[in-house]
Amino acid sequence: MSMSVREVLYRQLEPSAREAGLSFTNRCIACLIIFATLVAVFETEVTVRSLFPGFFLYAEIFFIALFSVEYIARLIAAGEQEKYAGFAGRIRYLFSKWSIIDLIAILPFILTLGGVNLVVVRLLKFLRLVRILRLGPFGAAWSIMGEAISRRKYELLLSLVVAGFLLVFSASFIYVAEAAAQPEEFGSIPRSLWWAVATLTTVGYGDVTPVTVMGRIFAGFAAAAGIGLVAMPTGVLAAAFSDAFQDRRNKMEAKGDSDRRF
């Protein structure tokens, strides 16, 4: 029995419709997204734009046309899923996470007809890269990452609270130590927060540094504390990801054993 157009679109566009790997259509879409992102990157360079006048506008029209067709095709294919069946289901799909991301990637250009190329519009073009996460194994990895973060949300929240406390405490102490010597850089706690962020995250730009003895001594302790500040959430996430991937592997192995028995 021949498949309907909607069934064909669903099998080609919906990653969950395949047991493994990407469909040919989704592979083409992934390549197109990467190419469109590279074009958007080179568009920000004035020299490149001057060498190829008009190219980027026509390229954007080409990408928008293809992504618009894809968006409509996904809307049609969504009806194959029970939760998106019928008119009410299509409306529900329009407000789903991935549908909104797809729409944001094409809507700014359509609304401005390519006549406005503001910074915000340019940044929205890079949202297309996020769309790759829905394809094939990327979607599964995204799901595992969300599951891992959800499992350790309390530990991560604790890390966030500790980080916030250390930032405010460090900014307050360095303000007391350095405000008189460097009022421009450390004249208030909000100004001192920039130094605290750069120091505790171990970035250390060096654009703002303490000059007093007390300030330098405290900066040493803050830099040492910053190592633990970065290591704490990193360790929590590493353990969470390891557990989530191991659980997924165990489930796949259990499923394989079950299939072999039957």
SS3 for the chain, per residue? CCCCHHHHHHHHHCHHHCCCCCCHHHHHHHHHHHHHHHHHHHHCCHHHHHHCCCHHHHHHHHHHHHHHHHHHHHHHHHHHCHHHCHHHHHHHHHCCHHHHHHHHHHHHHHHHCCCCCCHHHHHHHHHHHHHHHHCHHHHHHHHHHHHHHHHCHHHHHHHHHHHHHHHHHHHHHHHHHHCCCCHHHHCCHHHHHHHHHHHHCCCCCCCCCCCCHHHHHHHHHHHHHHHHHHHHHHHHHHHHHHHHHHHHHHHHHHHHHHHHHC
Parts of the chain belonging to CATH 1.10.287.70: 153-261
pLDDT of 61 above 80: yes
- Residues of the chain with pLDDT > 90, as a percent, come to 23
Reported as a single tens digit per residue, the pLDDT across 18-27 is: 666 678 888 8
Reported as a single tens digit per residue, the pLDDT across 29-40 is: 888 888 988 888
pLDDT of 240 above 50: yes
Give the per-residue pLDDT at 188. 93
Which of 21-30, 73-82, 124-133, 166-175 has the lowest average pLDDT?
124-133
Give the per-residue pLDDT at 137. 58
Q: Domain 153-261 has what CATH class?
A: mainly alpha
Mean pLDDT, rounded, for 119-129: 69
Give the per-residue pLDDT at 179. 92
Reported as a single tens digit per residue, the pLDDT across 176-229 is: 999 999 999 999 999 999 999 999 988 888 888 999 999 999 999 999 988 888
Mean pLDDT, rounded, for 252-262: 60
- Residues of the chain with pLDDT > 70, as a percent, come to 83
Give the per-residue pLDDT at 1. 46
Q: Domain 5-134 has what CATH class?
A: mainly alpha
Parts of the chain belonging to CATH 1.20.120.350: 5-134
Which of 43-57, 144-158, 165-179 has the lowest average pLDDT?
144-158
